Amino acid sequence: ERQLRLLSQRHELQGQIAAHNQQIIQYQQQIEQRQQQLLTALAGYALTLPQEDEEESWLATRQQEAQSWQQRQNELTALQNRIQQLTPILETLPQSDDLPHSEETVALDNWRQVHEQCLALHSQQQTLQQQDVLAAQSLQKAQAQFDTALQASVFDDQQAFLAALMDEQTLTQLEQLKQNLENQRRQAQTLVTQTAETLAQHQQHRPDGLALTVTVEQIQQELAQTHQKLRENTTSQGEIRQQLKQDADNRQQQQTLMQQIAQMTQQVEDWGYLNSLIGSKEGDKFRK
């Protein structure tokens, strides 16, 4: 029975080790698959996956780029508003021929200043518009590449992709889980080794007639048969003990009966002897 338990423990531990190894492989495959998907998606934006321990700085750089693009958009909007504000001023300025010389000079200077501001603002507007067009084209191209990569990936939509991005805490938890599984695997492997050594020692002292090639099912079947024989033997022993008890009781009763017979026989002999002495109830023979 002890050998059977060792064999069962060995099979169970081997199953646990196989399950742990399979789970570790699955986690590693999932991590590699998600890293590959991230690399493909980032390549569409002309970006690369950040190095280890550089995730925060990488994200900070991307945020700064987004903020810069938004700032250019705000500046472009402000310039357009400024041009709209200056255009009515140009229209309301008087013609130079209708003014005295001094007023003409002042008006001309004002007009020149406003005109120069308009030209500068217009130049800035064109520059920002060109940057905006380029940024929009890059964004459109990147979005198209991202959509193509997303359709080819295992994610249903962009929300699922964003949800799959693992933060540092999740990565730490996965690493910790991997380490725990590895420790469990080592402990299980050590226990399997110890069990194998114990089993080898027991096999050296195996019962006569028990082959090394015997299977667990055969041993279980033999044990079941042995247990059945033990139960039958126990039942037979109980019946025999009951018979022995009954025989002992019968012998005790017989011995008691024999004692009673002996006592009665002795009494009969005593009465016979007295009768032979007395002869009759009048005692005639005894008087003679």
252-276 confidence digits (pLDDT tens): 888 888 888 778 878 777 777 777 7
Residue type, 158: Q
128-166 confidence digits (pLDDT tens): 667 767 766 776 776 777 777 777 776 677 666 666 665
Range scoring the smallest mean pLDDT among 85-89, 216-220, 254-258: 85-89
Q: 158-164: long-range contacts (C-beta < 8 A, 24 or more apart)?
A: 161/37, 161/41, 164/34, 164/37
Q: What is the mean pLDDT of residues 211-230?
A: 74
How far, in whole angstroms, is CA 137 from its chain's centroid? 45
Closest C-alpha among 268, 23, 38 to residue 162: 38
Share of the chain above pLDDT 70, in %: 40
pLDDT band at 97 (very low <50, low <70, confident <90, very high): very low
Is this structure's pTM higher than 0.75?
no
Closest C-alpha among 203, 182, 188 to residue 3: 203
Closest C-alpha among 178, 83, 66, 180 to residue 125: 83
pLDDT band at 96 (very low <50, low <70, confident <90, very high): very low
Question: Looking at residue 105, what is its pLDDT?
Answer: 47
Q: Break the chain into its structural domains and give their ranges.
A: 2-188, 215-288
Q: With 60 as the cut, is the pLDDT of residue 82 above it? A: yes
Number of CB atoms found within 10 A of residue 140's CB: 10
Question: Looking at residue 104, what is its pLDDT?
Answer: 44
Buried b / exposed e across 217-234, counting CB within 10 Å, b at 16+? Answer: eebeeeeeeeeeeeeeee
Question: Looking at residue 181, what is its pLDDT?
Answer: 74
